[in-house]
Amino acid sequence: MNNRQTVFLIRHGKTSWAESGRHTGRTDIPLSGEGRREAAILKPVFENVDICLVLSSPLKRAFETCEIAGLSERSRKEPDLMEWDYGAYEGLTTSEIREKVPLWTVFTHPVPGGEKIEEVARRADRVIGEIRRQEGNIVIFSHGHFLRVMASRWLGMDPSCGRFFPLGTSTLSVFDYEHEYPAIRTWNGPLLTSACALSRLEEQSRMKGSEVREQKRG
């Protein structure tokens, strides 16, 4: 485990289905115009981050976010990062599903014809295992419900705890470590706010590095 590692997790930009609250699992729809504009915020930020690995869901809305952020040429499409397979509930809103199944959530109830939560958790565990074998910083482009399961598994929690981690589209989250313990440094940060904060941290890091070099020369 590399406890100096930082993992940047981006939930893709807005789509027409996301804006209407429809469950978008394996339906491969592109970003909306607003989603593309939001993704562009990331491009200047990651130009200054030392990255050893970029992984993206192969679904269009995630990989398009990766492309606009300027990281697609360095990326690998990873099927384990795909969104939950919602089966018969694909394209439906939570309100529509609850007309038949009161109090339904994807974390606590079955998904007919789709993935079990244990299957999604196994995918998340494989991604986390690969992350922890790396020596440097990593950028992940993925989807809302999958990343919520991944957050719970990063902390060693039951995957159903993903219900406690709401996550909007066009958001940046940061995983790292507090001493030797896996931690979530930032969660559900709007891209513009998070990107500005990340830029400030990078600038501070460069300034500290320059000060150290000056002291050594002195």
Tell me: the pLDDT tens digits for 50-92? 899 999 999 999 999 999 999 999 999 999 999 999 999 999 9
Q: Which domains does the chain have, with CATH numbers?
A: 7-217 (3.40.50.1240)
Pairing, β 171-178 against β 181-190: antiparallel
145 is catalytic: no
What pLDDT score was predicted for residue 65? 98
**Residue 3's CB: how many other CB atoms inside 10 A?**
13
Tell me the C-alpha distance between 115 and 106, whole Å.
Answer: 10
Catalytic-role residue among 12, 23, 143, 145: 12
Number of Cβ within 10 Å of residue 34's Cβ equals 14
Q: pLDDT per residue over 157-169, tens digit each? A: 999 999 999 999 9
Catalytic residue among 78, 83, 90, 115: 83
- Mean pLDDT, range 127-144, rounded to an integer: 96
Max CA pair span of the chain: 73
83 is catalytic: yes
Q: Are strands 51-56 and 137-142 parallel, antiparallel or unpaired?
A: parallel
Report CA-CA distances (Å) from 55 to 72, 74, 81, 83.
9, 9, 8, 14
> In which element (H, E) is residue 186 found?
strand 181-190
Q: Which residue has the higher pLDDT, 208 or 9?
A: 9
